[in-house]
Amino acid sequence: MFNLQEAATAYAKGAERILGEDGKFINENQEVVPVFVSLLFQSFEISLKHLGIEAKLFSEQEARDKKLTKNGHGIREIADLVNTRLGADSDYPVVMALTAGLNDSQSSDIIHKMIYAPEFDATRQSYQSRDLGYAQLKQGELALLNGLKPWVMAVRNVANNLPISIQVVTEWKNSSSNSKHFAIWYK
């Protein structure tokens, strides 16, 4: 009924709705913060999977393979799978592909933090184990970015940008170059 891009967008819109225009609801109802963060990570996980599947880097089954992506919800593991299948020698290609063509300077930094920042290790693990969704958190397991609105917009922009991201990755994958560096221009 809905494709993965639509699902990723829906989760981002859900987080955006919880945040609201002024953050009043989330500030007055702190119990929704783990749900808010979980929605952002769920949207981002789906975006990563959609990118890899549609660019034919891996199958839907591989995206859920416990050997490749832990339990299928490992944000870093899925991003690393994209990079590995592209033959990349660093962590930035997946971030650059997901944010290609976005006109805000924060999205790339925010997405990189969600995937690779050490301060998000515990949050990624909590999301992956599903403890975040149930708010079964221990002290230090919930990291937030400064500026919740830019975070929501970065995740939503990535979901909306998936057609360009897929084009960039597909072109890179099909390139005759042996470069391990990101060097694809999109239209």
86-96 pLDDT per residue, tens: 888 777 889 99
pLDDT at 134: 74
Residue 21 is part of which domain span? Answer: 4-174
Residue 86 lies in a domain: yes
Residue 29 lies in a domain: yes
Residue 63 lies in a domain: yes
Residue 48 lies in a domain: yes
How many separate domains does the chain show? 1
Residue 119 lies in a domain: yes
Give the C-alpha distances (Å, rounded to integers) separating 118 from 7, 51, 82, 110. Answer: 27, 24, 20, 13
Residue 179 lies in a domain: no
Mean pLDDT of 154-178: 89
Amino acid identity at 6: E
25 membership: H or E segment, kind and range? helix 24-28
Based on C-alpha coordinates, what's the Rg of the chain? Answer: 16
d(CA 103, CA 99) in angstroms, rounded, equals 9
Closest Cα to residue 6, out of 50, 64, 54, 56? 50
Residue 180 lies in a domain: no
69 membership: H or E segment, kind and range? helix 66-69
CA atoms within 13 Å, Cβ hemisphere of 4: 19
Residue 27 lies in a domain: yes
pLDDT at 181: 52
Query: pLDDT for 145-158, tens place per residue?
Result: 888 999 999 999 99
This prediction's pTM: 0.90
Phi-psi region of 69 (alpha: psi -120 to 50; beta: other; left: phi over 0): alpha
